[in-house]
Structure 1
Amino acid sequence: MTPEEVRGRRVRLMFQDEARFGRMVRMRRCWSPAPHRPSVSNGYEREFVYVYGAVSPIEGDMDWMISQKMNAEQMTLFLSQVSAAHPEDFIVMVLDGASSHKAKDLRRPDNIRFLALPPYAPELNPQEHLWDELREKEFPNRVFNDLATVIRQLQQGLPRLSADRERLRSLTAWPWIVSLILTAN
């Protein structure tokens, strides 16, 4: 994409990350009436599925994709999906230093440019907060019998989260992000 093609387009700032969801339980606090103590089963199976996500904090939008693998091929598919969802926008995608983000066979759509986060700085990526929110609301103290059930839970929870624009904004539209002036001159 040339500077002339970018000029005048709306700039969409997105933060991208991947997360792993699986059958291992993450213990969370829960309420129980006194004098009872809550009981939570535990699972130790190491089966996982990955979720690619990218949030637009200013707009309150989130794009996502469930995948069996995390590699350059899957990242290319996700980038194509994001590009197709926002074809009129020039997308500045902030991402971490994962190997699949730097792979030689990664294909980046013309309307997306990457901006790398500093190494070891997940606290700068608001997409990380969305993974925490998803785990807290959709996966607390649950043991899944199989990976298909985990995927079904993701297929229910991700649309719920991405449909709630105000919740997305409240979790990700940090003051330093909202204060940015995004125009392509």
Structure 2
Amino acid sequence: MAAGKTAAAALDAWLVFEDEAGFSMTPPTARTWSPRGITPTIRVRGRSRRRVSIAALTCYKTGQRPRLIYRPRDDRTPSGRMSFAWTEYRDLLADAHQQLGGPLVVIWDNLNTHLTRGMRKYVAERDWLTVYQLPAYAPDLNPTEGIWSLLRRGSTANRIFTDPDHLINTLRTGLRRIQHRPHLIDGCLTATGLAPLSS
């Protein structure tokens, strides 16, 4: 982690953390209000196997406001694949490089898709891209995990999703709200024990 932060400073680069999460039609439950003695009940319309995966980048650089860049992936795609392919991560990093306008130091976990030959070759051929792996079983070091927590405690909590499009639209709305609140993205970094870089 320290190596990534030092490299980002030396290269005048964005420090970028990546993570992915899945969301299903069954809503996460959170605390809510109800009349005393009456337990609130959430009725869900049957079980759905439909799932939406999201890959997100939390991006930090000294003197810049933090950024959140994300891509959803619906399992209704023609391939039927549930998780992101390495080419989709490649495209996400390329889009982030274009949006942020500078080199990236990416820190992510040891997901097998991150370690494919194609991804390693892509990273090696890009002078604007440096990648570090997080230690195994260390989600508490990744601020993007905090984004998922904000979504599950906020816009998706206690929500009845009528169909997959409703779920996708709710996730997009929640992520857009976070994008417009830089203090939340900074707070996710602070929760890892690292100081925000945007000040």
The verdict on a shared fold, with TM-score over 0.5 as the criterion, is yes
RMSD: 2.4
Tell me how far 1:115 sits from its aligned partner: 0.7
For the residues of structure 2 that align with 1:7 and 1:158, how far apart are their CA atoms? Answer: 27
Residues 189, 195 of structure 2: 8 Å contact kept: no
Residues 14, 57 of structure 1: 8 Å contact kept: yes
State the partner residue of 1:131: 148
**Partner SS for 1:53:** strand
Give the alignment partner of residue 44 of structure 1, picking from 41, 47, 67: 47
AA matched with 2:90: T
CA 1:29–1:8 in structure 2 vs 1: closer, same or farther (change >3 Å)?
Answer: closer
CA 1:115–1:146 in structure 2 vs 1: closer, same or farther (change >3 Å)?
Answer: same
Any stretches of 5+ residues in structure 1 without a counterpart? 1-5, 181-185
**Partner SS for 1:177:** coil
TM-score (norm 2): 0.78
Residues 23, 52 of structure 2: 8 Å contact kept: yes
For the residues of structure 2 that align with 1:118 and 1:148, how far apart are their CA atoms? Answer: 36
Structure 1 residue ranges, 4+ long, deviating more than 4 angstroms after superposition? 6-9
CA deviations on 1:97-141 (whole Å, 9 max, x unpaired) are 111111122234541211100111111111101111011111011
**Partner SS for 1:153:** helix
For the residues of structure 2 that align with 1:40 and 1:174, how far apart are their CA atoms? Answer: 31
Give the alignment partner of residue 96 of structure 1, picking from 96, 101, 109: 109
CA 1:118–1:142 in structure 2 vs 1: closer, same or farther (change >3 Å)?
Answer: same
TM-score (norm 1): 0.83
**Percent identical residues:** 24
How many residues were matched structurally? 174
Any stretches of 5+ residues in structure 2 without a counterpart? 1-7, 75-82
CA 1:179–1:21 in structure 2 vs 1: closer, same or farther (change >3 Å)?
Answer: closer
Residues 19, 51 of structure 1: 8 Å contact kept: yes
State the partner residue of 2:71: 65
